[in-house]
Amino acid sequence: MALTNNKSKRNANIELLRIISMIMVTMLHALDKGGLLVNIVDNPGVNTWVAWGLEALSISAVNIFMLISGYFLIDSKFKLSRFFELIGQTIFYTLGAFIVCYALGINKGETDVYWMLNYILPIHMKVFWFITSYVVLYALLPIISEGVHRITQKQLGTMLIILLVYECAFKSFLPFRMYTDEHGYSFIWYLIVFLVGAYLKLYGFKILNTPAKGLLLYFVSCLFILAEHFTIGYIIKNFGHLEELAGLAYEYNNFFVLTAALGIFAAFIHFKDMKEAPGKVVCFLSPMALGVYLFQENQTLRYRWQPWFKLQGSLQSPLYVLLGKVLLAVICMYLIGTAVDYLRILLFNGIKKAASKKS
C-alpha cells in the first residue's frame, strides 16, 4: 500500500536521494583520500578508468544536497533551536572524535590553543566548508525566503541565469582559470544552487518532467565529466597547455557536475510514490545522513579511515578486488556513521527532555 499523504510520498523519494547523495560523498572521500585517483593519461588502465568513472558518478553529490536544501527550506521557517542544534551536532563530531581518539592514543598530534579552535569552533574555522556555508545560509533563511517569494518567476529566473553564467558558465567553457573561481567551495555557489532548488520547488520542471529524462541527463553529464577530464589531461601531457585546468571537470561549479545533479534530482522528484514500509525506513534513516558526513570528514578521522580498508595500492589489484574494497569501505562508513549519529540523536533528545523538565 502506498503512502496516503502526497507530501509524504514525494518527501520519501527525496529523502532516499539524500541518503544516496551521502553514499556518493563517502565514495568521493574513499577514492580521493584512498589514493585511487591517479593521472588518467599516464595510467590508462581499466582500474584507473573505473575509479574516475565512479568519481564522475558521485561528484554531483554536494550539489544534490544543496538542491534538496533549497527545495525544502524555501518554504520552511527559521528555527533558532535547529540553528543551535546544527552547531552542536558539528561540535559533537569535531570535539567528540578528538577526545575519543586522544583517549585511545590514536590522535597525539598538535594540541596548541589555536589548533584546538578547529575542534571547539568548527564553523568559524571552516573545518567543514559545506557546514559553514549551510549555517550562514540557514541564518539568512528568513531574508532569502521572503525575497524569493516576493519577486516574480521571471525575475528569479533572470537572476539565476546571471549568477550561473558568472559562477559556472565562464569557468566551465573558457580555456583559462578565472581569478574569482573557488571551485564551488564557497558560500556564493551554495546560495546559487540553493536558489535553483527553490526555483524548482516553486515553478516545477518544464523539460525534465519524467524520470527517464532526468536519468538520461545525469548519465550523459557523467560521461561528459569523464571525457572532459581525459581531454584536458591529454592536452596537458601532449601540448603543455591548460595545466591550471587539470581538475576542472570534477569541480562542484562545473557545468556538467551541475547538470548531473539536476538530472538525478529531477528523476527522483518524478519517480513513482514510494510504498509505505520502505518509505518509513527511508524517512527514519535520512536525518542521520548529515551525521555520516561529519563522522567521516572530521579532522581526526578524515585521512584515517581509508587505511582501515586497505584502499591504498588497490589500483594494482584485480578489478573485482578494487571494487570490493571500495564498496566495502563506502557501505561500512555509511552504516557506522548512521549508527553513531543515531546515538547522537538519542543523546541530544535526552538532553532536551532533561532541560525541559528543569524549566
Mean pLDDT in runs of 10 for the chain (359 residues)?
Answer: 38 94 98 96 95 98 97 94 94 92 72 83 93 95 96 97 96 92 94 98 93 98 98 96 95 98 97 92 95 94 94 95 98 98 96 82
- Nine cell digits for residue 83: 540553528
Please give the pLDDT value at position 106.
74
H or E element, residue 38: none
Please give the pLDDT value at position 354.
87
Please give the pLDDT value at position 359.
64
Contact 118, 112 (CB under 8 A): no
Please give the pLDDT value at position 82.
92
The residues, any chain, with a CB within 8 Å of residue 114's CB and separated by 6 or more, are none
Please give the pLDDT value at position 200.
96
pTM of the model: 0.94
Please give the pLDDT value at position 355.
83
What whole-number distance in Å separates Cα of residue 118 and Cα of residue 110?
Answer: 11
DSSP E strands in 143-234: the ranges are none
Q: Please name which of 149, 5, 186 lies closest in space to residue 75, comparing C-alpha atoms.
A: 149
Please give the pLDDT value at position 9.
43
Please give the pLDDT value at position 262.
98
Each as own residue / partner, the long-range contacts of residues 241-249 (CB below 8 Å, 24 or more positions apart, any chain) are 241/175, 242/175, 244/176, 244/177, 245/175, 245/176, 245/177, 247/183, 248/171, 248/172, 249/225
Please give the pLDDT value at position 8.
39
